[in-house]
Amino acid sequence: MKIIVDGFGGDNAPLAVIEGCAQAVEAYGVDIVLVGDEQKLEKVFEETGISKERVTIAHAPGVISMEDDPNKIVRDKSDVSMAVGLRMLKEGQGDAFVSAGNTGALVMASSTIVRRIKGIKRAALATQVPTRTGSYMLLDVGANVECRPEMLAQFGIMGSAYIQGLFDKQNPTVGLINIGTEEKKGPPLVTDAFAILKKAPVNFVGNVEARELNNGVCDVAVCDGFTGNIILKLTEGLAKTMMGMIKDALMGTTMGKVGGALIKPSLKSLMGKLDYTEYGGAPLLGLAKPVIKAHGSSDANAFKNAIRQAKIFYEEDVIGKTEAGIAQLKGIDIGDGEA
């Protein structure tokens, strides 16, 4: 299997990218095509002594920054590492693509270059969020600020297919995020999406409230990108704040410090569950080929795990499962909407 990796995407590129690629080769036995300025990449390999085994370089002189207009990657910056890598993916020169670069540019370029699965209205960014018993998949988390009901139903199908592949979990539960559990609660976007999801080929468990998400109420939680991004960032911020509060409480007294030493292994385990680097990245679901968006501040471990995600994405034929679900959705009457 060959994974194409954006060598200059993210805050810690290219060193963290190269380290992560080397670790992935050793851990998962994949071949890597590293896309970016060849001279600069070769220099890092030479200076660090990192192995180039099963790693090849595809030259791309340009880089799109986090501040650049996402439209530029298609219109003005076709030579950047992200665009070159996506074209290679489209042309079959690799099985999946990983980048920690500009999110807006990746969504725009992937939809334009790689294209969406036939019948998919919009690609969606999805991410794993920790719960008391494991994790749930939240989508969309920012690719689509405004959505239509049929798009939310498609998100449910896409997320269900991905969870089946990533965790080998049959018939995962799908919930629709709302301010209450009643079927008729919420704005038309949500009530209409509820009606479609009831008939869709997924294990739909109805509306779920945000306060129940981290208790594992569903395996896949569906919402528009505006709502999802707020939930994700609030969850990240709250987790960080709570860990800080626990640390402050333990370090505030002598007894607290003694107790802290006793529960240190448990706290380290908890911190591991909250560590985004262990999840690797966010799949961009709905595209015709696998694309993984790694966190902008990804370290080597995060890149390694993003490559693991890409490998599973391809091997488990998540795209084929999504296509099958979308084909079934087309036969559902959704009133004024369009599946």
> If you compute the radius of gyration of the chain from its CA atoms, what whole number of angstroms results?
21
pLDDT tens digits, one per residue of 287-315: 999 999 998 888 999 999 999 999 999 99
Backbone angles phi, psi at 275, to 5 degrees: -85, 115
> pLDDT confidence of 335, banded at 50, 70, 90?
very low
Alpha-carbon distance 66 to 73, whole Å? Answer: 12
Report residue 312 as tokens. Answer: 């599973």
pLDDT tens digits, one per residue of 120-168: 989 999 998 888 888 899 999 988 999 999 999 999 999 999 898 778 8
C-beta of residue 85 within 8 angstroms of C-beta of residue 104: no
Question: Which stretches within 174-253 are classed as H helix?
Answer: 188-199, 225-251
What is the pLDDT of the chain when averaged over all its residues? 87
Structural domains in the chain? Answer: 2-122+276-318 (3.40.718.10), 126-275+323-329 (3.40.718.10)
Alpha-carbon distance 234 to 223, whole Å? Answer: 15
Alpha-carbon distance 37 to 108, whole Å? Answer: 22
Backbone angles phi, psi at 95, to 5 degrees: -100, -20
Task: List the beta bridge partners of residue 4.
Answer: 33, 97
Residue 250: the pLDDT is: 78
Among 21, 61, 6, smallest CA distance to 37 is for: 61
> pLDDT confidence of 272, banded at 50, 70, 90?
low
Buried b (16+ CB within 10 A) or exposed e, 8-26: bbbebbbebbbbbbbbbbe
Higher pLDDT, 81 or 245: 81
Confidence check: pLDDT of 339 > 80 = no
Alpha-carbon distance 218 to 209, whole Å? Answer: 11
Residue 190 corresponds to which amino acid?
A: V
Residue 25: the pLDDT is: 96
Which residues does 242 contact at the CB level (< 8 Å), separation at least 6? none
- Which range among 71-75, 98-102, 236-240, 292-296 shows the weakest confidence by mean pLDDT? 71-75
- Which range among 237-251, 253-267, 286-300 shows the weakest confidence by mean pLDDT? 253-267
With vertex at residue 269, the alpha carbon angle to CA 265 and CA 274, rounded to the nearest 5 degrees, is 145
Quick one: how far is CA 204 from the chain centroid? 21
Scanning the structure block, which residue is given the tokens 């999805």?
Answer: 126
Scanning the structure block, which residue is given the tokens 């091997």?
Answer: 315
In residues, how long is the chain?
339
Average pLDDT over residues 260-285: 68
Residue 94 corresponds to which amino acid?
A: G
Confidence check: pLDDT of 253 > 50 = yes
Terminal C-alpha separation, the chain: 34
> Pairing state of beta strands 124-130 and 135-139?
antiparallel
Residue 149 corresponds to which amino acid?
A: P
Higher pLDDT, 124 or 248: 124
| Cβ-based neighbour number of residue 260 at 10 Å | 16
Report residue 208 as tokens. Answer: 């779920």
